[in-house]
Amino acid sequence: MITFLNNFEASAPNNVVQRAFLSLQEEMQSEKVGYYKLPRRSLEVLEDAKDIDTSRFSQIVVIGIGGSSLGIKAIDSILRPVNKAAKEILFFENSDPLTILSQIQKIRPAEAAFFIISKSGSTIETTSIFKTLLHHFALDLDVKDNHRVFAITDNNSDLSKFALHHKLKTFYIPHNVGGRFSVLSAVGVVVLHFAGYDVEAILRGAANFIERFFDKKEKHLLEKAYFFYKNSKSLSINVLFSYADSLENFNKWYVQLWGESLGKIDVNGEHVGLTPIGIIGATDQHSFLQLIIEGQRDKTLTFIAVENFQDDIAIADITLEYIEKTNFVNGKNFSELINAQCKAVMQSVEEFGINTDFIKLDIINEENIGILIIYFELLTSLVGSMLKIDTYNQNGVECGKKILYSNLSKKV
């Protein structure tokens, strides 16, 4: 179970909220936007993946970037501490040669399943790394290694044609699902199933929450979206303050989702958007909190905490000379300490007039992670609708890709 608590004034005019709600409802019913129905439809993808004997693989290699990897990485990072039987997943994302060389050394090619993931099918970082791995391990796509290389892409993309040519097993991303909203599609479902996670529970959590939302049982989400929209010019930065190390990659997933979806030009030609920042408690209390409290008042804070970490350790009940003043925590569990730190920081920033909201997971499990994913996707769509932008395009990113292609294609 997840508890959502908004600590700000959120009296929202019915016409604004209702218009945004109806906009999302229309996007879902018309199938203009496809992520709303993924929690149900991806069950078919999961059944297809179950036909493959995954016991042949002890290692998963993911070749993808942005929306093709961040969601998988987020869920894997969150669940791995509580699912120690999960198979190792190696991620190849960036063009950094040192990281690529380091990751290559970890691959056991005879035990690995390779996933190349690209919605467009021609992402330059992804295809470049894929070529390099094929060459380095001398992978034979037509005979002996055909069974261990999988493609996840749009139907009829360049990558899908390549996969068809080599008879590679291919899973398709629906055309109406953008990359940053695709983690509950084949992108996440297939890879996480191969790794040994309970994907059905992830999808069930997301499906139940989205049904409650459209049944108007998650009013807090509409209130939060309106607050962000109403204050988007004065409170233009949202800081996701997650009190668990395992949520660090979730923060990165949120940063892409929020930034790429909401940084746009609206219907009036104005530049709008909300800047996302992801930080980790208690670590970043010692680096970022000063800026929040005494810096410019242009930020809201969303706190995420875990009530029950399941595994825990007690602080040693010993006295250190000259440091006796810290004895008040002796014998307490570290989960108590980190949650007390979260509560204290949230209380302190509120006393300084900073607007906050709070998300508490009772435990870390697949169902809760499914809820968390769809919660932030719905929130993004709601704010985008209120800002009167196209939440799902990414013209700024496409411009950069065109320049890159042009520059690298020039003859020296």
CA-wise closest residue to 293 among 350, 234, 349, 347: 349
Q: Which H/E stretch holds residue 114?
A: strand 112-118
Which whole-number Å values give the CA distances from 388 to 11, 166, 177, 271, 275, in the listed order? 20, 44, 20, 11, 17
Q: 90 with 107: CB under 8 angstroms?
A: yes
- Kindly give the interhelix angle for 124-136 and 395-409, rounded to the nearest 10 degrees: 50
- For residue 301, give the nearest of 344, 256, 361, 237 by alpha carbon: 237
Residue at token pair 């508490």: 360
Q: Terminus-to-terminus CA distance in the chain, angstroms?
A: 58
Whether 184 and 203 have beta carbons less than 8 Å apart is answered as yes
Q: How far is Cα 240 from Cα 357, in angstroms, rounded to an integer? A: 10
- Angstrom distance (rounded) from CA 336 to CA 342: 10
Supply the Cα-derived Rg of the chain in whole angstroms. 22
The phi and psi torsions of 2 (rounded to 5 degrees) equal -120, 135
Q: Which residues are catalytic?
A: 260, 286, 401
Distance of alpha carbon 71 from alpha carbon 373, whole angstroms: 9
Tell me the C-alpha distance between 133 and 140, whole Å. 11
